[in-house]
Amino acid sequence: MTVNKYIATPSRTKEILTKYNFSFKKSLGQNFLIDTNILENIISHAGIDKNAGAIEIGPGIGALTEQLAIHADKVVAFEIDQRLLPVLQDTLQPYSNIQIIHQDILKANVSEVISSCFSQEQPVHLVANLPYYITTPILLKLLHDNLSVESFTVMIQKEVAERMAAKPNSKSYGSLTIAVQYYTEAEVVMHVPKRAFMPQPNVDSSILKLVRREKPPVQVHNETFFFMLVKASFAQRRKTLRNNLVNHFKPDWDKETIVQLLEEAGIDGNRRGESLSIEEFAVLANAFYSAVNNNT
């Protein structure tokens, strides 16, 4: 198949959309990539080779799926829009190493799919142009599910990518940063112009690469409590850590108790959540969790 026949070109994309009289659904956040060079860059950053298995979410008309099929051993793609199933059957017909699963990724048992579709020793990477309206729930579900996936290379809204890869003391740093970096090492690897999509989105896009950590960078007594405390610490960004935690834990604990626990953790309550490293949040959460258990 020659390059000018690839799906990810404006002319081929228009041809496919016309053939199937396809109309974009805003509710599904459908923006199709029409630049093969960008797709090849994504594949390269993802570390896909002929030994690898690839998982895709929202293949659309198959632009990224096609490139994954060329470079990977096998591709499994989840598509929620039933209208696209016959389109994908047509556009991806030349490739025998693709499996399309008609399912909502938020309801899918991805671990089961990985174990049944890929060999145990095979490296598996998730690569996707994610629908922007639901990026965060998808990624957090996949991270919490502790999948046997080496990396996640995803096209997402630039602002969200920056939040996930942020450093302390930056305006992008928040509870989402901590949640993502607890499980992975995050890096924004490239930005993508709006003209690379059909239709063009209203927001700028970036490619975020998340490499799965062998183990979290910190030890916490209870993960659920840790993430809850982190979220509470950012409830109102302009408020101090002490004030946010007082608001969260009232009426169970009074201000004096919160101040005492902050002192025991060695954290200045006048700081704001954005100034704390993940290590400091772990110390803080462990101190508070121990206090909760001692009171029960």
**Residues facing 213 on adjacent strands:** none
Query: Is 84 labeled as ligand-binding?
Result: no
- Is 21 annotated to bind a ligand? Reply is no
Distance, in Å, from the CA atom of 143 to the CA atom of 127, rounded to the nearest integer, reads: 14
Q: With left for phi above 0 and alpha for psi between -120 and 50, is residue 91 left, alpha or beta?
A: alpha
Residue 215 CB contacts under 8 Å (≥ 6 apart), including other chains: none
Helices 223-233, 241-249: inter-axial angle, 10-degree rounding: 120
Q: Is the dihedral of CA 131, 132, 137, 140 positive or negative?
A: positive
109 marked among binding-site residues = no
Number of helices followed by number of strands (H, E) in the chain: 12, 9
Task: Tell me if 104 is assigned to a ligand binding site.
Answer: yes
DSSP string over 227-276:
HHHHHHHTSSTTS-HHHHHHHHHTTTS-HHHHHHHHHHHT--TTS-GGG-
Distance CA 32, CA 192 (A): 13
Q: Is 31 annotated as a binding residue?
A: yes
The helix (run of H) or strand (run of E) holding residue 198 is strand 197-198
Q: Is 79 annotated as a binding residue?
A: yes
Residue 239 CB burial class (10 angstroms; 0-12, 13-18, ≥19):
middle
Mark the binding-site residues for S-adenosyl-L-methionine, compressed into ranges: 31, 33, 58, 79, 104, 129
Residues in the annotated binding site: 31, 33, 58, 79, 104, 129
